Amino acid sequence: MAEETDVELEARLTEQDYFRPPAKFVGQANASDPAIYDEVGEFPEGFERYAELLDWDERWDEVFDGSNPPFFEWFVDGKLNASYNCVDRHLDERKNQTALLWEGSEGEQENITYQDLYREVNEMAAALRAQGVEEDDVVTIHLPMVPALPITMLACARIGAPHSVVFAGFSAQALAERVDSADSDYVVTIDGYYRRGEFLEHIEKTDEALDQMDRDPQVLYWTRHDEPTGDVSDDYTNVEYLLEDHRRERVKPVSRDAEDPLFLMYTSGTTGKPKGCQHRTGGYLAYAAATSKYVLDIKPEDTYWCAADIGWITGHSYIVYGPLALGTTSVMYEDTPDYPHKGRIWEIAEKYDVDIFHTSPTAVRMFMKWGEQYPEEYDFDFRHMTTVGEPIQPEAWLWYYKHIGDEDAVIVDTWWQTETGGHLITNLPALEDMKPGSAGKAAPGIEPALVDDRGEELEPASGKAGNLIIKNPWPSMLQTVYGNDERFISTYWADFSDTDSDDWRDWNYKAGDGAVQAKDGYWRILGRLDDVMNVAGHRLGTMELESAVSEVEKVAEAAVAAREDAEKGEVPDVYVVLREGIEPSDAVKQEIVEAVEREIGKFARPSNVIFVDDLPKTRSGKIMRRLLENISNGEELGNTTTLRDPSVPERIREQVQSD
């Protein structure tokens, strides 16, 4: 049969919206019986099936305690250790199986078996303890995609010290803020790593961060090569040397209460500083393992590759905790997908014969732009592919399906958040047909719903847009915002719950996303409804960006608008009013860009800096970012009647469009 063209495939899509999972997938899937929906949906006992995937030191007395909403508890009085579950328990059956396949920037390869992981995690746990880390101390980890990162996380989990991983791309200032906010007395970093083949002196960020933070943490550093590279302070402890003192030491995994925190993960919100989402040990690990099994279809004998960064929640749940709890082999890659060439990803997929591949819509759009000639050069055969982090346009979905999956792999589009710990809306791949652009149905046991702005629930499957809420609690939901229960309630619950009620059924989790549920029950996510942007799958608060820009003395006022971008999804446009007497110039633009890089990180760099005379404001002085978004996206201006000076947005529009 002649190969179908993209146009033909697209035409088929309009006639027939669904794609059936290939029979060869269905025949071997971990979730192949639709009864799983009813069984797990039996609230709350259904989630016991998930907890039973783990090894517990003591079984729980109660599955769910909803007596103090929204502080829900899961697997109450159960005890377990996450590091034991991800490492030790696999030794009997697969100690010589590879746990992590690390591919370095320079083509180096490390093959870390479960036995190796066991040894390295134990030694690091012993070393951390010897440096004074005690149970419940928060350890900040600022590491890139090197094996030291999962090893340090699992070592922390072993001794019951919650980790707070700060994505390596975050700046010194962002690191400092997170160390202070988490009351952390330990920072684990590395001398440097490779980005597009160049050695980055990563430890400089810690040097700078120490000057900017209130706390005075102890710094431990790994080395990218055998010996430290570059300029490293004598005040820091070299982990590699330290480990010499702990060779072959074994550390008994600390039996943690199911409700004890496993980690913090900072994420951007609408207002103020990033929030430390606190995740519990038992419910989180159970849910991450179960969704890895049933949604990602991971089996121990698979080679699985989630091409995300462990510094974000995707990497926590679906590189480290879920896949390792299931005893599979995971690929980790240090560098960018186009280094040293644009076929790098497919070259690695071929080399390791990857079965399951996990990436973001931004990456798919980028691969699409580069062209199918790159994947075509390599011989790889995925059974299962995942997308996560942003809505995927049907066009990109189809390209992924055809050119990467060879029309022979299932795709799951997984909707979830840092706060939710694991997938909440996504199909179980063998049980539902795929529908491009749609995240699919709710995961088993999850009850999404839509409400209007007054909190009235919309008819299910009405096809109307609303605010996405999740009704029943689930095991991997965040426990709280670290150190700030009030912010936890006001951010996630207050808007759509009866906060006076003691009945958990009156509490609804607010996701902050808009969504539509079609007649067939499939959910389509429309994007954030709050002032949070999604830049290449990275979550950024507009307020955070604005406060970074305002650090520049020449700036009087700034507002950030999300502009749609064919590749990155959204990019930040910054509208700036300069102080009296300051002339717009490229030098000032540069200062603004540098301020963002300094305060947040290079990945947050504004796409455009636009100097304006005034910003559109309501009579009460609130900046109307929506209007700026209309301008950035070349759309009609929305309602301007509530503005103090309705001519302002029109003037900005003329200015932007004449540029």
Binding residues vs ligand PRX (CB under 6 A) = 267, 313-314, 388-391, 413-418, 439, 511-513, 525, 527-528, 534, 539
If the CB atoms of residues 189 and 267 are measured against ligand PRX, the closer one turns out to be 267
* 387, amino acid identity: T
| Residues facing 555 on adjacent strands | 578
Please state, in angstroms and rounded to a whole number, the distance separating the CA atoms of residues 409 and 251. Answer: 42
Contact 125, 152 (CB under 8 A): no
**SS3 letters across 480-534:** EECCCHHHHHHHHCHHHCCCCCCCHHHCCEEEEEEEEECCCCCEEEEEECCCEEE
If the CB atoms of residues 391 and 429 are measured against ligand PRX, the closer one turns out to be 391
Contact 403, 329 (CB under 8 A): no
Q: Which residues of 303-338 are buried (b: 16+ CB within 10 A; e: fewer)?
A: bbbbbbbbbbbbbbbbbbbbbbbbbbbbbbbbbebe
Q: How far is the CB of 515 from ligand PRX (least distance, A)?
A: 9
Q: How far is the CB of 113 from ligand PRX (least distance, A)?
A: 29
Residue 184: name the closest of 167, 161, 207, 203 by CA. Answer: 161
Q: How far is the CB of 315 from ligand PRX (least distance, A)?
A: 10
If the CB atoms of residues 228 and 361 are measured against ligand PRX, the closer one turns out to be 361
If the CB atoms of residues 170 and 352 are measured against ligand PRX, the closer one turns out to be 170
* 438, amino acid identity: S
If the CB atoms of residues 298 and 609 are measured against ligand PRX, the closer one turns out to be 298
Q: How far is the CB of 476 from ligand PRX (least distance, A)?
A: 12
If the CB atoms of residues 417 and 427 are measured against ligand PRX, the closer one turns out to be 417
Contact 107, 88 (CB under 8 A): no
If the CB atoms of residues 44 and 569 are measured against ligand PRX, the closer one turns out to be 569
If the CB atoms of residues 494 and 526 are measured against ligand PRX, the closer one turns out to be 526
Tokens of 503: 């009945």
Collapsing DSSP states into helix, strand and coil, what is residue 469? Answer: strand
Q: How far is the CB of 215 from ligand PRX (least distance, A)?
A: 26
Q: What are phi and psi of 368, to 5 degrees?
A: -65, -40
H or E segment to which residue 40 belongs: helix 35-41
Map tokens 């949070």 to a residue. Answer: 532
Please state, in angstroms and rounded to a whole number, the distance separating the CA atoms of residues 453 and 96. Answer: 55
If the CB atoms of residues 82 and 468 are measured against ligand PRX, the closer one turns out to be 468
Q: How far is the CB of 57 from ligand PRX (least distance, A)?
A: 30
Tokens of 261: 């925190």
If the CB atoms of residues 366 and 609 are measured against ligand PRX, the closer one turns out to be 366
| Residues facing 601 on adjacent strands | 170
Q: How far is the CB of 233 from ligand PRX (least distance, A)?
A: 32
If the CB atoms of residues 89 and 471 are measured against ligand PRX, the closer one turns out to be 471
Q: How far is the CB of 443 from ligand PRX (least distance, A)?
A: 12
Q: How far is the CB of 429 from ligand PRX (least distance, A)?
A: 14
Contacts of 456 (CB under 8 A, 6+ apart): none
Collapsing DSSP states into helix, strand and coil, what is residue 621? Answer: coil
197 conformational bin, left if phi > 0, alpha if psi -120 to 50, beta if neither: left
Please state, in angstroms and rounded to a whole number, the distance separating the CA atoms of residues 1 and 342. Answer: 30
If the CB atoms of residues 532 and 652 are measured against ligand PRX, the closer one turns out to be 532
If the CB atoms of residues 282 and 437 are measured against ligand PRX, the closer one turns out to be 437
Q: How far is the CB of 522 from ligand PRX (least distance, A)?
A: 12
If the CB atoms of residues 121 and 529 are measured against ligand PRX, the closer one turns out to be 529
Alpha-carbon distances, residue 347 vs 48, 338, 374, 375, 407 (angstroms): 40, 11, 9, 8, 20
Q: How far is the CB of 349 from ligand PRX (least distance, A)?
A: 22
Q: How far is the CB of 268 from ligand PRX (least distance, A)?
A: 8
Q: How many CB atoms lie within 10 A of CB 198?
A: 11
If the CB atoms of residues 192 and 315 are measured against ligand PRX, the closer one turns out to be 315
Q: How far is the CB of 111 from ligand PRX (least distance, A)?
A: 28
Map tokens 């059936």 to a residue. Answer: 20
Chain-centre distance for alpha carbon 377: 30
Please state, in angstroms and rounded to a whole number, the distance separating the CA atoms of residues 65 and 72. Answer: 6
Collapsing DSSP states into helix, strand and coil, what is residue 4? Answer: coil
Q: How far is the CB of 361 from ligand PRX (least distance, A)?
A: 8
Please state, in angstroms and rounded to a whole number, the distance separating the CA atoms of residues 559 and 622. Answer: 11
Q: How far is the CB of 442 from ligand PRX (least distance, A)?
A: 13
Tokens of 479: 């426990």
How many CA atoms lie within 13 Å of 612's alpha carbon, on the beta-carbon side? 27
Secondary structure (DSSP) of 216-282: --EEEEE-SSSS--S---TTSEEHHHHHHTTTT---PPP-EETTSEEEEEEE--SSSSPEEEEEESH
Q: How far is the CB of 343 from ligand PRX (least distance, A)?
A: 26
Q: How far is the CB of 391 from ligand PRX (least distance, A)?
A: 4
If the CB atoms of residues 414 and 632 are measured against ligand PRX, the closer one turns out to be 414
| Residues facing 267 on adjacent strands | 275
| Strands 480-481 and 410-414, bridge-based pairing | unpaired
If the CB atoms of residues 237 and 270 are measured against ligand PRX, the closer one turns out to be 270
